[in-house]
Chains A and B, each alone.
Chain A
Amino acid sequence: MCRKGKIVKLIIATIKPFKLEDVREALTLVGVRGMMVSEIKGFGSQSGHTEIYRGAEYAVNFVPKAKLEIVVPDAMADQVVEAIAKTARTAKIGDGKIFVLDVESAVRVRTGETDDDAL
């Protein structure tokens, strides 16, 4: 059995865009040194609505969100999830979701270090 895969986790989180700065700060306090952020659109139970453009109705099905992808050692994963969940919560629908995945391997491009050393 390859235990190496469980040493590194990928955490994918979707949050409301205005929460991004607060979450980033909270994660820095937890010890996260890097993350990837993308602007996405999506929907969950927060359904869309219709708007009118020049007299024609159109459905706005997708809502803007921020997606974070953070790769951390296994030991840190739970803290990261908790930090995101606590900071991003507004208690209204559309707060987002967090997923934790196993990472098969990781490499630092500059030095060639792998797995834990790559983080």
Chain B
Amino acid sequence: MKLMKYFPLVALLTLPSTGFAQEIADTTPQMADIGYILTTFMFLVTGVLVFWMAAGFTMLEAGLVRQKNTTMQLMKNMALFSMASIMYYLVGYNLMYPGDGWSVSGVLGAFLPTTLEPVGLADTETDLTYASVGADFFFQLMFCAATASIVSGTLAERIKLVPFLIFTLVLTSLIYPIQASWKWGGGFLAPGDGSVTDFLDFAGSTVVHSTGGWAALAGALILGPRLGKYKDGRTNAMPGANLPLATLGTFILWMGWFGFNGGSQLYMDTAGNVADISRIMANTNLAAAGGAVAALIMTQILYKKPDLTMVLNGALAGLVSITAEPLTPGLGVATLIGGIGGVIVVFAVPMLDRLKIDDVVGAIPVHLFCGIWGTLAVVLTNPDATIGAQIKGIVVVGVFVFGVSLVLWMILKAVMGIRVSEEDEMRGLDIAELGMEAYPEFVQG
């Protein structure tokens, strides 16, 4: 049928081209290269999708804070992503993937900036069984930046910009890469020969999401709640200024997650691998859907009216929950895993308020609590996982990230203060810290 029309062209390309040898160089990829090319390409595409999650977080946060603090969230997200990129290049990547160059074997990686392969892979003996260093670096960088953005939402509306950026600098250059090296970099949490555990975390429910969540929790405890949030035993609502942005942000995150989980398959060189990626994306989608619907039903039951912001959180909760194991579950189980994540956040948000922990966007319930749930849920569908190993991974990462973050926030508070003055908090960070309104009401001219 239609394919037949291409037959002459295909024949021309595949028949021995003796008559053409002198005129056209043969650029047909070697069979050995094809897997490398496809996997590298896959990383670039999925890396771009994960990058897009930065826009998602930014819009979600911009929509859930009050108008007077919007520009600050935008600034924080632009800055943290850029800083994460630079710090990951300068030190993070090799700290996370030292290969043979561990400073302390299995615990502390290499302190070196990243160097990519030379242009055109000239004069190199490239390992063609994987992907280019550039693609690997590019893809992993996005995960580092994603972790940093989790912290920004929780601490909104009362944190000073500079100490936040300093924390981000340490998080992206040291905290994240070090704990990630233990699992993904072949350190002491990685499964395999001589490994201590069989801790499984496919795309980072613990390594990325819980890490961000722990850092956010530590910050929220040291920073304190917003003025007027908890008064006389009541929790006061502070509704977000732009729900369309918040919703758009959530959809963007959902879309980016296809890359986040899909790319974590790490290979697209065989039929089996690419079929797995399709499985992962389908599961990822259903987990988000399950989480959103669960939150919709739960808020309807609890509050008589469904809460859009909880449905948004629910979708993200589903996504975080499936992130530890998006491959092995069937579609139904993936939906349920996401659904349970959605239920968790609906209860976790008011629970944090009762504990007087002020999390503006619900990042702690979504990323920390569901990160833990997602990591535990691996044992439901992956026979190689054990509950003991999962708990061990959760605890080790948790103690490290929470502990170091807590100390760092305390140091920053003591040295420079991390919170704006009461007057500035009332005026709004946009004017106080940045001198720039997000929605200027009286425009000149």
Cα–Cα, bound, A51→B239 (Å): 11
Residues of A within 8 Å of B302, CB to CB, are 55
A99 on interface, CB distance cutoff 8 Å: no
Q: Which of A51, A54, A57, A58 contacts B349 (CB 8 A)?
A: A54
A53 on interface, CB distance cutoff 8 Å: yes
Q: Are A56 and B236 in contact (CB under 8 A)?
A: yes
A109 on interface, CB distance cutoff 8 Å: no
B353 on interface, CB distance cutoff 8 Å: yes
Chain B 51-66: CB-based contact to A (< 8 A → 1; otherwise 0): 0000000000000000
A60 to chain B, nearest CB (A): 10
A91 on interface, CB distance cutoff 8 Å: no
Q: Are B353 and A55 in contact (CB under 8 A)?
A: yes
A52 on interface, CB distance cutoff 8 Å: yes
Residues of B within 8 Å of A57, CB to CB, are 234, 237
B355 to chain A, nearest CB (A): 13
Most chain B CB within 10 A, of A51, A52, A55, is at: A55
Q: Looking at chain B's contact residues, is the secondary structure mostly helix, strand, loop, or mixed?
A: mixed
B296 on interface, CB distance cutoff 8 Å: no
Chain A residue at smallest Cβ distance from B346? A55
Residues of B within 8 Å of A58, CB to CB, are 236-237, 239
Chain A residue at smallest Cβ distance from B359? A54
B309 on interface, CB distance cutoff 8 Å: yes
B442 on interface, CB distance cutoff 8 Å: no
Given contacts A57-B237, A58-B236, A58-B237, A52 and B349 within 8 Å (CB-CB): no
Which A50-83 residues have C-beta < 8 A from chain B? 51-58
B174 on interface, CB distance cutoff 8 Å: no
Chain A 24-54: CB-based contact to B (< 8 A → 1; otherwise 0): 0000000000000000000000000001111
A27 to chain B, nearest CB (A): 27
Cα–Cα, bound, A72→B221 (Å): 60
Cα–Cα, bound, A36→B397 (Å): 61
Number of interface residues of B (CB under 8 A): 16
Cα–Cα, bound, A53→B299 (Å): 10
B235 on interface, CB distance cutoff 8 Å: yes
Q: Are A52 and B235 in contact (CB under 8 A)?
A: no
Q: Are B239 and A53 in contact (CB under 8 A)?
A: yes
Residues of A within 8 Å of B310, CB to CB, are 54
Residues of B within 8 Å of A54, CB to CB, are 237, 307, 309-310, 349-350, 353, 362
Cα–Cα, bound, A52→B307 (Å): 8
B427 on interface, CB distance cutoff 8 Å: no
Chain A residue at smallest Cβ distance from B235? A56
Q: Are A53 and B353 in contact (CB under 8 A)?
A: no
B6 on interface, CB distance cutoff 8 Å: no
Cα–Cα, bound, A53→B302 (Å): 12
Chain A residue at smallest Cβ distance from B230? A56
Residues of B within 8 Å of A52, CB to CB, are 237, 303, 305, 307
Most chain B CB within 10 A, of A52, A53, A54, A56, is at: A54
Interface residues of A (CB under 8 A from B): 51-58
Interface residues of B (CB under 8 A from A): 234-239, 302-303, 305, 307, 309-310, 349-350, 353, 362
Q: Which 7 A-B residue pairings sit nearest by Cβ, starting from the closest?
A: A55-B350, A53-B237, A58-B237, A56-B235, A56-B237, A52-B303, A53-B239
What are 7 A-B residue pairs whose CB atoms fall within 8 Å in the complex?
A: A53-B307, A54-B307, A54-B309, A54-B349, A54-B362, A55-B353, A58-B237
